[in-house]
Amino acid sequence: MSKPSPDVYEQGKGMDAHNQAMREIRSRKDETYDPREPTRVWLDEDNTPDGVYDSLTIILNTGGCRWARAGGCTMCGYVAESVEGGSVSHEDLMAQIDVCLDYEADQREASGSASSAERSSADHSSGRSPREDGEERPASHEAENAEEPAGLIKIYTSGSFLDEREVPAETRQAIAETFGDRDRIVVESLPDFVSEEKIEDFTEQGLNTDIAVGLETATDRVRRDCVNKYFEFSEFERAAADARDAGAGIKAYLLMKPPFLSEAEALEDMKRSVRKCAAVDGCHTVSMNPCNVQRHTMVEDLFHGDGYRPPWLWSVASVLEDTANEDIIVVSDPVGHGSDRGAHNCGDCDDRVQRAIKDFDLRQDPSVFEQVSCECERTHEFVLERERSYSMPLAR
């Protein structure tokens, strides 16, 4: 990433004190990254309006979020993983895509070999194996689909995929063509950069397209004062309308427990935000991201000063359970769950609650949370009742 500077178009859109603090924090970064290697890539399963898909998630290594160069969001450390210099060429970005495709092919080949052995074993028993979502499928499912490409592609950057200073139009169009044979694609962007013309690069390929917007919260004051994000909810609604006009959907990314909120305040804000997103025409999915402590962020400074604790996994489960009947898909994938830097409970029950959350993501059945319990629920209830913004965290 180029040296943080306020001399960009975003100057004045956020809180000046936040931006000044964030620029100083980000200037401590001294790592360098290869412009021909993606930041991360992995295979998973995701729930969509068309059902559960195998997914290939790609985080492209770009020149970084332009808002982060002004200061940026209090919790986001992704920009610290960006390439120096502020830009990455079309050729290098497409080389990253090739790396991701090679990774997918290698993983499918390895999965096919492993599943063949599993199928042989299963043939001598029941002949069926359990799905993660609780249903049954033939034990040969993995072998039959091991070499098939993922139907869902998700592409992120450290900022906005639709920002042509990060990802040139030429690259966007080439990526759309590369994945034109898949079923569905998700690309992430701030609402500023969402337009029908850009989205049509994907929809014209016959791809079911979703625009993932880092809304963080439906409460403008929380987004501005706690997250230091400059746009208002009305801009999210405008982006949703443009996406809808282009034949695409909206996936809202919400942040569970930004800094400066107590556990109870964060919990109620998240439930309210999910319901407000559900009322936006075209917004079919909410991905609730429990805040984790990333490097080179204001949240990390607060964390080291005993001024921040990531959310409880019980709070994540509470939001999912309480909003399960809303007319919207709500999912969550707590990064770093069970660690001090990620959403966690007492340590003993963290993995069990995480498995219940993953099960809910795929089945949208709140009864999964009735199957997990722990004595630390009483501590969580105490924190919700007694913790205040000026005396937090009450428990680590």
Write the pLDDT tens digit of every residue in 160-169.
999 999 999 9
Which residues are registered as beta bridge partners of 252? Answer: 213, 286
- Report, as an integer, the average pLDDT of 125-152: 44
Half-sphere exposure of residue 391, counting CA atoms within 13 Å on the CB side? 7
Give the pLDDT confidence score for residue 138 in this predicted structure: 29
Q: Out of 120-124, 253-257, 299-303, which region has the weakest mean confidence (pLDDT)?
A: 120-124
Question: If you average pLDDT over residues 241-260, what whole number do you get?
Answer: 97
Higher pLDDT, 134 or 4: 4
* pLDDT score recorded for residue 15: 64
Average pLDDT over residues 135-163: 68
Q: What is the pLDDT of residue 3?
A: 45
Share of the chain above pLDDT 90, in %: 72
Going by pLDDT thresholds of 50, 70 and 90, the confidence category of residue 122 is very low
Tokens of 120: 């042989």
Checking if the pLDDT of 135 tops 50, the result is no
In this structure, what DSSP letter does residue 166 have? Answer: T
Alpha helices by DSSP H, 150-223: 169-178, 196-203, 220-222
Residue with tokens 């990314």: 253
Show the tokens assigned to 204. Answer: 């014209």
- pTM across the whole model: 0.84
Packing angle between helix 376-386 and helix 313-322, nearest 10 degrees? 80
- With 80 as the cut, is the pLDDT of residue 2 above it? no
Per-domain residue ranges of the chain:
16-391
Per-residue pLDDT band at 109 (split at 50, 70, 90): confident
Helix (H, G, I), strand (E, B) or coil at 182: coil
- The answer to whether residue 213 scores a pLDDT higher than 70 is yes
Q: What is the signed CA dihedral for 266, 267, 268, 274, rounded to 10 degrees?
A: 100
pLDDT: which is higher, 221 or 25: 221
What pLDDT sits at residue 393? 81
Query: Of 80 and 293, which is predicted with more confidence?
Result: 293
- The position carrying tokens 């804000």 is 269
Confidence of residue 370 (pLDDT cuts 50, 70, 90): very high
Mean pLDDT of 281-301: 95
What's domain 16-391's superfamily in CATH? Aldolase class I (3.20.20.70)
Can you tell me the mean pLDDT for 355-361? 96
Q: Once rounded to an integer, what is the mean pLDDT over residues 136-148?
A: 41
- 65, 66, 71, 75: CA torsion to nearest 10: -20
Alpha-carbon span 174 to 202, nearest angstrom: 10
**How does residue 130 score in pLDDT terms, banded at 50, 70 and 90?**
very low
Question: Given a cut of 80, is residue 104 above it in pLDDT?
Answer: yes
- The answer, yes or no, to whether residue 143 has pLDDT greater than 60, is no
CA pair distance 164, 175, nearest whole angstrom: 13
Average pLDDT rounded to a whole number, residues 242-259: 97
Q: What are phi and psi of 44, to 5 degrees?
A: -160, -165
pLDDT, averaged across the chain: 86
**What pLDDT is recorded for position 144?**
41
Query: How many other CB atoms are there within 10 angstroms of residue 32's CB atom?
Result: 8
Contact criterion met (CB below 8 Å) for 282 and 241: yes
pLDDT surpassing 50 at residue 77: yes
What three-state secondary structure class fits 374?
Answer: coil
Q: Report CA dihedral (320, 323, 326, 331) to the nearest 10 degrees.
A: -20
